[in-house]
């Protein structure tokens, strides 16, 4: 392929990428999945289904990263969309725990294939087009498209669930089909490292990367922030259901949950608009630790009260992601080699998912095996998360004073 054709392909990649993220994140089931599983099964089985998803994603994280580095970004992204689509069809038609679990496994596989590969694809496309310095701005733009997709699908998914929960899963499958078509139009970016390296060399690249103090610090932060971002995602829906029940409006829980998720994403889009200015004003370490502190504070508030007013706190759930995700990606990507980039990012996701899945499994052991999850159960679990978060925050704060987090 000529240099001119390569540049055209890379420019098209960068232009299409935000729209690919938009359709990928039309997750119409996001605000009703727990309510759906709990209706069909039980609270304990609903939590176990999340564990099934996380275990499947965790088991495939590192292999999928290696697959991406060996077989290419485009093929891996197409495989991600196909796996996710199959999983959503299974969930929309499931009539037993086994089929629900199989659907969760397929969705987990799709998440694993996309994890790390998407941002590696964007960075390598920018570098090949001579625009590597735009990573923060382009990642922020793609994040805004992601949040817009999540916002639109949250509220419409809640309305769909008011008719039938299965509609939300079917609509999400159609959206993934559109994302898959876009992935087929991508051009594989060139790899600066030439020939792909073998498994042994990949392990060597990972060890070399983790010897860099800044990468190790960001690795730990990303791992714990993944879990603390998803705690409200898992427990927010039963929390809303309990709050609505107290007001006698439990039947409206799907629509309210969807509306809360939609406003949550709008708030996060607004937060992303000031993210670059805030990052320049207070510095990279400060904005990252501020975001992690917000996650811990949100969980703490939900643990302290079951008032419907506390639902408003959930609107801030994605703000920490808006203030960390683009900047972590832009700081990490240049420090990694093309031959091991996706593998490192997948290992990072692997560690985050493994840690969170373990904590959710522990929570499922104390959840009721019949009926819905009461606030007393939710509060006990969230309190432990808040305490653990404060301990980790203290360690990261002390370490940040000795590590060069900001670019020199």
- pLDDT greater than 60 at residue 408: no
Cα dihedral: 125, 82, 358, 39 (round 10): 130
pLDDT tens digits for 310-323?
A: 677 778 888 999 89
CA 160 to chain centre: 23
Q: How many CB atoms lie within 10 A of CB 368?
A: 12
Q: What share of the chain is helix, strand, coil (3-state, %, to 5)?
A: 85, 0, 15
Measuring CA to CA, which residue among 64, 90, 73, 81 is closest to residue 179?
81
Answer yes or no: is 307 within a domain: yes
Q: Exposure of 307 by Cβ count < 10 A (0-12 exposed, 13-18 middle, 19+ buried)?
A: exposed
- pLDDT greater than 80 at residue 269: yes
CA 261 to chain centre: 14
- pLDDT greater than 60 at residue 139: yes
- pLDDT greater than 60 at residue 2: no
Q: What's the confidence (pLDDT) of residue 192?
A: 59
Q: What's the confidence (pLDDT) of residue 250?
A: 52
Of 332 and 396, the structure prediction assigns the larger pLDDT to 396
Are 53 and 150 a contacting pair, CB within 8 Å? no
**DSSP 3-state assignment of 96?**
coil
Answer yes or no: is 406 within a domain: no
Separation between Cα atoms, residue 396 and residue 392, nearest integer Å? 6
Give the Å distances, CA to CA, from 160 to 25, 29, 48, 105.
Answer: 17, 9, 25, 24
Q: What's the confidence (pLDDT) of residue 78?
A: 95
Of 9 and 178, the structure prediction assigns the larger pLDDT to 178
Looking at the structure of the chain, the number of domains it has is 1
Q: What's the confidence (pLDDT) of residue 308?
A: 63
Of 385 and 407, the structure prediction assigns the larger pLDDT to 385
Answer yes or no: is 408 within a domain: no
* Helix 43-71 vs helix 213-246: crossing angle, to nearest 10: 150
Give the end-to-end CA distance of the chain in Å, rounded to a whole number.
Answer: 37
Give the phi and the psi of residue 206 in degrees, each rounded to 5.
-65, -45
Rounded (5°) CA angle 320-81-112: 55
Separation between Cα atoms, residue 336 and residue 209, nearest integer Å? 7
Measuring CA to CA, which residue among 174, 145, 179 is closest to residue 74?
179
Answer yes or no: is 211 within a domain: yes
Kindly give, in sequence order, each residue whose CB lies less than 8 Å from that of residue 139, ignoring residues fewer than 6 positions away: 119, 122, 325, 326, 329, 330
Q: Exposure of 162 by Cβ count < 10 A (0-12 exposed, 13-18 middle, 19+ buried)?
A: middle
Strands, E assignment, 43-201: none
Answer yes or no: is 407 within a domain: no
Give the Å distances, CA to CA, from 249 to 46, 102, 161, 252, 253.
Answer: 22, 33, 16, 6, 7
Are 153 and 265 a contacting pair, CB within 8 Å? no
Measuring CA to CA, which residue among 385, 4, 85 is closest to residue 229?
385
Mean pLDDT over 97-122 rounds to 90
Separation between Cα atoms, residue 316 and residue 389, nearest integer Å? 17
Give the phi and the psi of residue 378 in degrees, each rounded to 5.
-65, -45
Least confident range from 29-33, 245-249, 343-347: namely: 245-249
Q: What's the confidence (pLDDT) of residue 194?
A: 47
Mean confidence (pLDDT) of the chain = 82
> Which pLDDT band holds residue 396 (cuts at 50, 70, 90)?
very high
> Which pLDDT band holds residue 219 (cuts at 50, 70, 90)?
very high
Give the Å distances, CA to CA, from 336 to 26, 123, 129, 340.
Answer: 30, 11, 18, 7
The residue segments making up the domain with residue 166 are 3-188+196-400
CATH of residue 396: 1.20.1250.20
Are 151 and 271 a contacting pair, CB within 8 Å? no
Q: What's the confidence (pLDDT) of residue 36?
A: 79
* Gyration radius from the chain CA atoms: 20
Alpha helices per DSSP H over 274-340: 275-282, 284-304, 319-322, 325-332
Q: What is the pTM of this model?
A: 0.76
């Amino acid at each position: 392929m000529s240099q001119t054709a390569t540049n055209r392909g890379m420019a098209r990649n960068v232009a299409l990428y935000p729209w690919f993220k938009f359709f990928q994140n039309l997750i119409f089931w996001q605000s009703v999945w727990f309510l759906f599983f709990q209706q069909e099964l039980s609270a304990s089985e609903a939590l176990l289904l999340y564990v099934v998803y996380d275990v499947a994603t965790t088991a495939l994280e590192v292999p999928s990263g290696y697959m991406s580095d060996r077989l290419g970004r485009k093929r891996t992204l197409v495989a991600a969309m196909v796996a996710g689509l199959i999983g959503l069809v299974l969930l929309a038609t499931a009539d037993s725990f086994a089929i629900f679990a199989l659907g969760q496994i397929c969705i987990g596989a799709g998440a694993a294939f996309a994890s790390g590969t998407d941002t590696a694809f964007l960075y390598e496309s920018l570098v090949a087009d001579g625009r590597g310095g735009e990573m923060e701005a382009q990642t922020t733009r793609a994040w805004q498209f992601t949040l817009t997709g999540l916002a639109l699908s949250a509220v419409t998914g809640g309305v769909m669930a008011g008719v039938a929960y299965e509609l939300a899963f079917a609509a999400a499958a159609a959206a993934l089909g559109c994302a898959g078509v876009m992935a087929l139009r991508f051009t594989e970016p060139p790899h600066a490292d030439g020939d792909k390296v073998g498994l042994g060399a990949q392990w060597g690249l990972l060890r070399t990367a983790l010897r860099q103090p800044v990468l190790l610090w960001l690795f730990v932060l990303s791992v714990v922030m993944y879990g603390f971002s998803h705690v409200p995602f898992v427990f927010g829906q039963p929390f809303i259901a309990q709050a609505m029940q107290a007001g006698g409006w439990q039947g409206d829980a799907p629509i309210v949950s969807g509306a809360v998720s939609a406003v949550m994403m709008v708030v996060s889009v607004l937060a992303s608009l000031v993210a670059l200015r805030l990052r320049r004003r207070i510095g990279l370490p400060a904005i990252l630790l501020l975001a992690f502190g917000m996650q811990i504070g949100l969980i703490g508030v939900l643990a302290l009260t079951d008032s419907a007013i506390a639902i408003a706190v959930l609107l801030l759930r994605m703000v920490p992601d808006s203030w960390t995700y683009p900047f972590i990606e832009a700081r990490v990507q240049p420090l990694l080699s093309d031959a091991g980039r996706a593998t490192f990012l997948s290992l990072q996701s692997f560690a985050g998912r493994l840690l969170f899945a373990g904590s959710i499994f522990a929570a499922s052991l104390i959840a009721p095996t019949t009926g819905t999850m009461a606030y007393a159960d939710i509060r006990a679990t969230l309190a432990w998360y808040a305490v653990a978060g404060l301990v980790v925050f203290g360690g990261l704060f002390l370490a940040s004073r000795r590590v060069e987090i900001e670019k020199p």
